[in-house]
Structure 1
Amino acid sequence: MTDVKELIIAIVQPLVEHPDDVKLTEHETERFMEFDLQVNPSDIGRIIGKQGRVAQSIRTIVYSVKTPYQKRVRLNIVDA
């Protein structure tokens, strides 16, 4: 799953003012590969965007990735 993780980080880091504060944790459930994205509190608005458009765009790209065992990918944006 490092490919998906690298993809998310590659998309998110250029969008934020504090790229070193981007943290991504992953865990697997029976049906999903879930990724929890945490950024600096001052960057949360940049990740979500107006009316959630940036977050939805990131999720659309990530959800299109194929994973082994037919698991779906889920991206959660964690508000610290």
Structure 2
Amino acid sequence: MTNFDTLITKIIKPLVEYPEDIVIEHNESDRFYEYHLFTNKHDIGRIIGKKGHVAQTIRTIVYSARVHNKKRVRLIIEDGKNKNS
């Protein structure tokens, strides 16, 4: 299975001003592997982009990675208020 932490980090790191503040947490449900992305609150706009285009592109790349079962991957970009604020 793809290492999604590494994949997400490699995509996000060049976009942000504070790469040391990137935190990825995991949750697993019956249907999804959820990855919660936390960054510095000053970087959230860089990750979301205008009209959410950057965030959508990041999700498209992450969702296209191969998973070896029927669960799907979900990337949740947190607003930066909960971690590393």
Question: One fold, TM greater than 0.5?
Answer: yes
The answer for the alignment partner of 1:16 in structure 2 is 16
Measured after TM superposition, the shift of residue 67 of structure 1 is: 1.4
The answer for the alignment partner of 1:47 in structure 2 is 47
The answer for the alignment partner of 2:31 in structure 1 is 31
- The two structures have a TM-score, normalised by structure 1, of 0.94
Query: Of Structure 1 and Structure 2, which has the larger fraction of its residues in helix?
Result: 1
- The two structures have a TM-score, normalised by structure 2, of 0.89
Instruction: Flag structure 1 segments of 5+ consecutive residues without an equivalent.
Output: none
Structure 1 residue runs of 4 or more that deviate by more than 6 Å after TM superposition: none
Measured after TM superposition, the shift of residue 68 of structure 1 is: 2.6
Q: Distance in 2 between matches of 1:19 and 1:32?
A: 26
Identity across matched positions, percent: 54
